[in-house]
Amino acid sequence: MSEHAAASAGEAPPRDLLVLEAGCDPEGLARYRVRLGARFEVLRASAPAGFTAARRDAREAEIDARFAARGEPLAREIQAAIARFERASFVLAGPRRSLVLERARPRIVGILNRTPDSFSDGGRWVELDDLYRRAEELLAAGATWLDLGGESTRPGATPVPVEEELARIAPAVEGLARRFDAWLSIDTRRAAVARAALAAGADMVNDVSAGHGDEHMLATCAELGAPLVLNHMRGTPETMQTAPSYGDVLDEVAAELHERLVASLNAGIALPRIALDPGLGFGKRFDDNLRLLHGVAALRTYGCPLFVGASRKAFLGTLLDGRAAAERDDATSATTAWLVARGVSAIRVHDARRASDVARVAARLTELAAPRTWGGVTPETREEGLSG
């Protein structure tokens, strides 16, 4: 079955097979560093051509195009993982329209919070006229997607009553949809709010709880044909920073996102309607956030576009010796450049102008560097390595 057919049939990719990075050897042959799980010892025992054991403790291997082109089942499985990792574009099909996402031209997502207590801009856009002016500014600055929230999910935030969140969101969505043509996602953990926002004109749901916060969320998105961002978080915003702990944060976040991906598919949400977010700052320690940023490209192995927000988050302030949220935009720009180079399709930010400029330059430089870097293989080696 082809990758597209598998996605249409609702099949999930393997959980424990992650492509970590890609490049070329000095002869131009495509090479991939792959985390293999239980498959590691099988491959190591046979030591086929094109396979090099890289790190036994992490069950990682380097695999080149000679191995990926072999015909046995395991080689085909790895070849399919590489194809998902290398996927260049996606189409998110919403209830009324679709959005094309391209790794080479990542979308800048402007943050809109109609809340009194968000960590960076709480209280600034509560009045509708102010919110609309802010939306116009974000779009003029280069954002092509707006992400609207009516409940703060900062660390320690207490939930607001659903009626209050609805009162904040419903009129705002209706007004934004009427005034602007931008893609509009609703940042909520509640199915009732998602339903109301989609009815008012929103295109997509961004759920920081990945469906854990409301047992009806996944079924609601499936029923309404709504695309969904699955964000990784342990606990709730109120509890998530109470002694979070990971062994291997990339492995654990990938496995837990995979579980939510499977739950979403089982609920009836098609794979092409799902995006993944590693949840920077959501139940993560300082080093966890940095390690996730470093390894974020591995999540591309699951065949979904990546949606990531590092903008002004606390771990950047920690890295900068306690810098306040409003003074973290240059640090955010560094993460934006990194995310572009790692193949992230949508980047959520407060400062759209800065992010748009950084993304354009980083995307061009990444394209020029492609033959010997992260996901870059020349057309010739890509064809040789993945034709099978």
Residues 184 and 333 in one domain: yes
Of 260, 252, 341, 351, residue with least CA distance to 310? 351
pLDDT beyond 50 at 257: yes
Residues 280 and 325 in one domain: yes
* Across 193-211, average pLDDT: 97
Residues 77 and 95 in one domain: no
Residues 264 and 359 in one domain: yes
Q: Out of 168, 313, 328, 354, pick the active-site residue.
A: 313
Residues 56 and 180 in one domain: no
How far apart are the C-alpha atoms of 36 and 48, rounded to whole Å? 15
Q: Is residue 94 within 8 Å of residue 332, measured between CB atoms? A: no
Q: What confidence tens digit (pLDDT) does each residue in 99-111 have?
A: 999 999 999 999 9
Residues 339 and 356 in one domain: yes
Q: What confidence tens digit (pLDDT) does each residue in 42-101 have?
A: 777 776 666 777 777 778 888 887 776 777 788 888 889 999 999 999 999 999 999 999
SS3 378: coil
Residues 275 and 187 in one domain: yes
Q: What confidence tens digit (pLDDT) does each residue in 260-289 have?
A: 999 999 999 999 999 999 999 999 999 999
Catalytic-residue membership of 372: no
As beta bridge partners, residue 183 has 145
**CATH code for the domain in which residue 318 is found:** 3.20.20.20
pLDDT of residue 270: 95
The sign of the CA dihedral 338, 340, 343, 344 is positive
Residues 168 and 285 in one domain: yes
How far apart are the C-alpha atoms of 149 and 55, rounded to whole Å? 42
pLDDT of residue 68: 67
Residues 76 and 113 in one domain: no
pLDDT beyond 90 at 307: yes
**Neighbour-count burial for 125-136, b at 16+ CB within 10 Å, e otherwise:** beeeeebbebbe
User: Considering all CA atoms of the chain, what is the largest pairwise distance in Å, rounded to the nearest integer?
Assistant: 66
State the Cα torsion 219-221-222-224 to the nearest 10°.
120
Q: Tell me which DSSP letter residue 270 carries.
A: -
The sign of the CA dihedral 18, 74, 90, 149 is negative
Q: Are strands 89-93 and 98-102 parallel, antiparallel or unpaired?
A: antiparallel
**pLDDT range class, residue 29, cuts 50, 70, 90:** confident
Distant-in-sequence, close-in-space partners of 360: CB < 8 Å, separation ≥ 6: none
pLDDT beyond 50 at 377: no
* Across 197-204, average pLDDT: 98
Token output for 302:
């699951």
How far apart are the C-alpha atoms of 169 and 257, rounded to whole Å? 27
Return the amino acid letter for 19. Answer: V
Residues 313 and 377 in one domain: no
pLDDT beyond 80 at 381: no
The sign of the CA dihedral 68, 55, 26, 373 is positive
- The backbone torsions φ and ψ at residue 372, rounded to the nearest 5 degrees and listed phi first, read -135, 25
How far apart are the C-alpha atoms of 282 and 280, rounded to whole Å? 6
Catalytic-residue membership of 313: yes
Residues 318 and 209 in one domain: yes
Q: What is the pTM of this model?
A: 0.89
As beta bridge partners, residue 231 has 277
Of 112, 158, 141, residue with least CA distance to 311? 112
Domain that holds residue 59: 3-87+373-386
User: In this structure, how many other beta carbons lie within 10 angstroms of the beta carbon of residue 114?
Assistant: 26
Residues 111 and 76 in one domain: no
Domain total in the chain: 2
As beta bridge partners, residue 206 has 187, 229
